[in-house]
Amino acid sequence: MRHFLSATALGVALGATLTVGSAPVTSAAAQVSEEEDRRRSRQTLQQRTGQQLNEALNLANEEPPRLQEALAEINDLLRRDLPPFDRSTVLEIRGSLNYQLENVEQALQDYTQVLRLDALPSDRLIQIRRNVAQLHYSQENFQEAVRFMRDFIQQSPQEATANDYFILAGALIQLEDYQGAREPAETALRLDEKREKRYYDLLNLIYSELGLAAERGQLLEQMVEYFPEVESYWVQLSGSYSAADRIRDAFATLEAAYRAGIISDEPKIVALAQFYSELDNPYRGAQMLEQEMAAGNVERDLGNLKLLSQLWTQAREQDQAIDILTEAAGLADDGELYYQLGQSYLADEQFEESIRALRQALNAGGLSADEQGNIYTLIGSAYFSLDSESPQGRQNAKDAFRQATRFRSSAPAAQEWIQYINAIIDTERRQDEVERLQAIERQEQQIDRCESILDVIDLGGASGADDETVSQCRELIAQVEAGVTAEQLVDGTAATPAAPAEEEPETEAG
């Protein structure tokens, strides 16, 4: 008898194709001798059985098929006392009908009875056993699916197709036996002549679960080549390269997919921007991220703004980094970004803005002790850079550095800063004292000179000094005679007349 029913598509997990009642299939068919098998092949149905079965088949083959009526005829036929061959044949047909009517459990029972009767020729039993394996798989009876499919493949390996190995591997995966699933999945891919994605997907999953990085990397390279439109394959291949420390290959893969327009979603674009950072091309990464934000493909949220600011900072584009950090800091609930903003201002020598941002970081909170100590150190250095000449500028810097000494990590550097500022102050004080003593000495010399000028004048001689100088000398000597010392005159604790310019005394001609 011919098989009149072609199988309808069945949505099987992992995309397995079920071919009940069509192409020949294999499984552990009962082992019979060639002579017995030939005898079974020569068997025919009883006339009455054949007539009633033909009536059922005619109903099933009408357009549209009258499957329920055909099934009723078959059920009526099975109520009779039939010989094993006839009953097996009728059950085989009913199994096909039940499958077409989506009575999968009943179809499975029919085929199982056929196998139990063991009265049909081996080729038909082989087909039925394959059907049983596939139906168990569709019903999620994975242990039974594995048992029947393994028997089928073992007994009829030449008839096993890629789909059969795929079902076996899929069932083993459902049983979490990834090691056992590896070989049949590899065989399914090898037998695949149509280059179907599902075979690659299955083996990719198995390699991933088994941690076979090298094998998975090679497989993903094929998947990208054969299915270049699938974004996830590019991403997985990039991840595989990263896991193998092949960072440049990971980057090149992701970038190629981006440039080809395959990658357009935010996580992949952000990952690519991070690759640009790692591979010392932050400027390109920042440009790309800015463009994608402008296009609406990447959210302008806190995390992405932080990455963008880091890229601009790495690229030494402080103005752009500052703009982005200022925007991001307003979205944050702690002082971390104000901390970074302060550092960027400091690097750009905008000291007042740096101090303001760093103090905002402290006020916002959420910083570690090490970060707080470093912030006070940075504030101190900003104050010093802003105004290291004035006492107030130095004092502001020292106050910040003293705050930094409260934190263990920043205390040594802050103490060195304080010592450095004190050393500058001490040096300038000593220099001032030297200059003061020199000024006192010059003042004493001026007093002596003025006394000499006035003595010459008192004796009626010509001193060689002009009237203004003489007047200043008289004022100076008057102060000295009043008890004012040269030191007081230099320190400004007494009225000081303008010092007369030194002039060479005039000599009388002749």
What is the secondary structure of 416-469 as a DSSP string? HHHHHHHHHHHHHHHHHHHHHHHHHHHHHHHHHHHHHHHHHHHTT------HHH
The Cα–Cα gap between 487 and 476 comes to 13
> Which three-class secondary structure state does DSSP give residue 140?
coil
Domain extent, residue 431, equals 412-491
Residue 150 lies in a domain: yes
The Cα–Cα gap between 106 and 109 comes to 5
* Residue 305 banded pLDDT, cuts 50, 70, 90: very high
- Judge contact between 397 and 391, C-beta under 8 A: no
Quick count: other Cβ atoms within 10 Å of Cβ 390? 10
Pick the range with the lowest mean pLDDT from 105-119, 161-175, 371-385.
Answer: 105-119
Residue 83 lies in a domain: yes
pLDDT for 6 equals: 28
For the residues 160-188, what does the mean pLDDT come to? 96
Last residue of a domain, one of 156, 171, 194: 156
pLDDT for 16 equals: 39
* Residue 153 banded pLDDT, cuts 50, 70, 90: very high
The three state secondary structure string of 327-395 is: HHHCCCCCCHHHHHHHHHHHHCCCHHHHHHHHHHHHHHCCCCHHHHHHHHHHHHHHHHHHCCCCHHHHH
* Residue 401 banded pLDDT, cuts 50, 70, 90: very high
The Cα–Cα gap between 440 and 257 comes to 82
CATH number at residue 71: 1.25.40.10
Dihedral sign, CA of 211, 212, 217, 219?
A: negative
Residue 3 has pLDDT above 50, yes or no: no
Last residue of a domain, one of 132, 156, 180: 156
Nearest to 19 by CA among 134, 187, 155, 109: 134
- Helix, strand, coil content of the chain in percent (nearest 5): 70, 0, 30
Last residue of a domain, one of 156, 189, 213: 156
pLDDT for 33 equals: 67
For the residues 176-189, what does the mean pLDDT come to? 97
- Judge contact between 217 and 237, C-beta under 8 A: yes
- Judge contact between 264 and 254, C-beta under 8 A: no
pLDDT for 234 equals: 93
Pick the range with the lowest mean pLDDT from 84-88, 406-410, 492-496.
Answer: 492-496
pLDDT for 31 equals: 53
Q: What percent of the chain has pLDDT over 90?
A: 48
pLDDT for 38 equals: 73
Residue 497 has pLDDT above 60, yes or no: no
Residue 137 lies in a domain: yes
Domain count, the chain: 2
For tokens 């705050």, name the residue.
403
pLDDT for 37 equals: 63
For tokens 């073992």, name the residue.
154
Residue 106 lies in a domain: yes
Amino acid at 471: S
Residue 458 lies in a domain: yes
Model pTM above 0.85: no
What confidence tens digit (pLDDT) does each residue in 402-457 have?
999 999 999 999 999 999 999 998 988 898 888 889 988 898 898 888 888 888 88
Range among 9-18, 215-224, 308-317 with highest mean pLDDT value: 215-224
pLDDT for 136 equals: 92
Q: What percent of the chain has pLDDT over 70?
A: 88
For the residues 95-104, what does the mean pLDDT come to? 90
DSSP codes, 188-225: HHHH-SS--HHHHHHHHHHHHHHT-HHHHHHHHHHHHH
What confidence tens digit (pLDDT) does each residue in 254-264 have?
899 988 888 88
DSSP codes, 54-118: HHHHHHHTSSS--HHHHHHHHHHHHTS---HHHHHHHHHHHHHHHHHTT-HHHHHHHHHHHHHH-
pLDDT for 46 equals: 84
Residue 299 has pLDDT above 70, yes or no: yes
For the residues 380-394, what does the mean pLDDT come to? 92
What confidence tens digit (pLDDT) does each residue in 23-81 have?
333 333 345 566 666 766 667 788 888 888 888 888 888 889 899 998 998 898 899 99
The Cα–Cα gap between 39 and 121 comes to 8
* Residue 10 banded pLDDT, cuts 50, 70, 90: very low
What confidence tens digit (pLDDT) does each residue in 105-137 have?
999 999 999 999 988 888 888 889 899 999 999
Neighbouring residues of 439: CB distance < 8 A, sequence distance ≥ 6:
490
Give the distance from CA 413 to its chain's centroid: 35
Residue 348 lies in a domain: no
Residue 228 has pLDDT above 80, yes or no: yes
Residue 2 lies in a domain: yes
The Cα–Cα gap between 290 and 404 comes to 37
Residue 197 lies in a domain: no
pLDDT for 510 equals: 30
Interhelix angle 318-329/302-314, rounded to 10 degrees, is 160
Pick the range with the lowest mean pLDDT from 155-164, 177-186, 456-465.
Answer: 456-465
Nearest to 94 by CA among 196, 176, 200, 5: 5
